[in-house]
Amino acid sequence: MGRRVRHLCVPLLLLAAYSCPAADLLTSKTNPPPPTSSSREVPFRLFRGYVVVVQGSLGELAGRQLLVDTGSSPTIIDYSVAHRLRLPFRPAQLSQVNREAKARSVILPNLTLGPIDAKYLPVLVADLSFIQRQLGIHIDAVVGLDVLSPRSFSIDYQSRKIIFGQLPISTDSVPFETQPPLITIKANVQGRDLRLLVDTGASGLMLFRERNNLNLPVTSAQRSDNISGMFTREQVEVSDLRVGNLYRHKQTAYLVESPDNIARDFDGIAGISALGIKQIAFDFEHGILSWK
């Protein structure tokens, strides 16, 4: 049966299951040209204004659809990929924002994304079909910081490119509070200093109820979906949010329940789209997050 592997993993995939018209689900329907392994710039498709999907290779399977999620580690592949590659399973534990779940893990022979060529990569295996239900596109893998963090990179949401290596110059930056496998930064929410996970796969500002006694009136409750299934989040409004020089007035946020083992590491999740950021850069050499 093999040893049970416990992974530090917080895939927050598509936490906001908004009731969007079908036309709004696909921000981009044009397939970008597939990147080569030597390409420093990797084009991507953008869904719902924040979900980044690129093309890459998983083992011998080329042209796979990879969702880039800085709030995940380790990387997750779909069951269909593991079966096609005939990879042997072993049991694992998956920790998520709302609960823990049993999972399986495999060793992926290689993963190629632009200039990244990761070999013999331990990954989780899960049913990613819920992403297809929300986006209308099959996702073969969710690529996390275990794959991305060896190289500094930026995500340009306007040109729709991930750029590895040289980073854009920006005066707006904050230091990492924690290093990979998960990146957190310090933020101030209504006068309280909080540590937030930087997550390109989340749609908004999520605050863990257990760590944030803000006594805010709930304006609505919504059902959202991730690998573990459905869960409830409550919409609130915070009077102000500060991250470095960035200031947001009357910021929408969501309260969610979270297990103690997750909530003790950080106080919530910062979805990039919620902050109005058009370009974000992860400088792993200097431990700095910057944006425009």
* Per-residue tens of pLDDT for the chain, all 292 residues: 343 333 444 444 443 322 232 222 233 344 544 444 345 999 999 999 999 999 999 999 999 999 999 998 899 999 999 999 999 998 776 665 545 666 789 999 999 999 999 999 999 999 999 888 888 999 999 999 999 998 999 999 999 999 998 788 788 999 999 988 889 999 999 989 999 999 998 888 989 887 667 777 888 877 665 554 556 788 999 999 999 999 998 999 998 877 665 556 788 999 987 788 999 999 999 999 999 8
Task: Note the pLDDT of residue 2.
Answer: 40
Task: Note the pLDDT of residue 289.
Answer: 96
Q: Are residues 72 and 138 in the same domain?
A: yes
Task: Note the pLDDT of residue 84.
Answer: 97
Q: Are residues 83 and 190 in the same domain?
A: no
Task: Note the pLDDT of residue 180.
Answer: 87
- Let me know: does 235 contact 252? Beta carbons within 8 Å: yes
Q: Print the domain residue range for 130.
A: 5-164
- Let me know: does 53 contact 68? Beta carbons within 8 Å: yes
Task: Note the pLDDT of residue 5.
Answer: 37
Q: Are residues 194 and 135 in the same domain?
A: no
Q: Are residues 31 and 156 in the same domain?
A: yes
Q: Total domain count for the chain? A: 2
Q: Rounded to whole angstroms, what are the CA distances from 120 to 15, 23, 147, 205, 288?
A: 30, 39, 11, 34, 28
Task: Note the pLDDT of residue 215.
Answer: 75
- Let me know: does 241 contact 189? Beta carbons within 8 Å: yes
Alpha helices in the chain (DSSP H): 22-25, 79-84, 129-135, 145-148, 260-263
Give the span between the Cα atoms of 280 and 247, in whole angstroms: 16
Give the span between the Cα atoms of 176 and 174, in whole angstroms: 7
Q: Are residues 253 and 205 in the same domain?
A: yes
- Rg, the chain, Cα only: 18
Domain-ending residue, one of 164, 198, 222: 164
Q: Are residues 156 and 112 in the same domain?
A: yes
Q: Are residues 84 and 180 in the same domain?
A: no
CATH code of 246's domain: 2.40.70.10
Q: Are residues 181 and 159 in the same domain?
A: no
- Let me know: does 134 contact 25? Beta carbons within 8 Å: yes
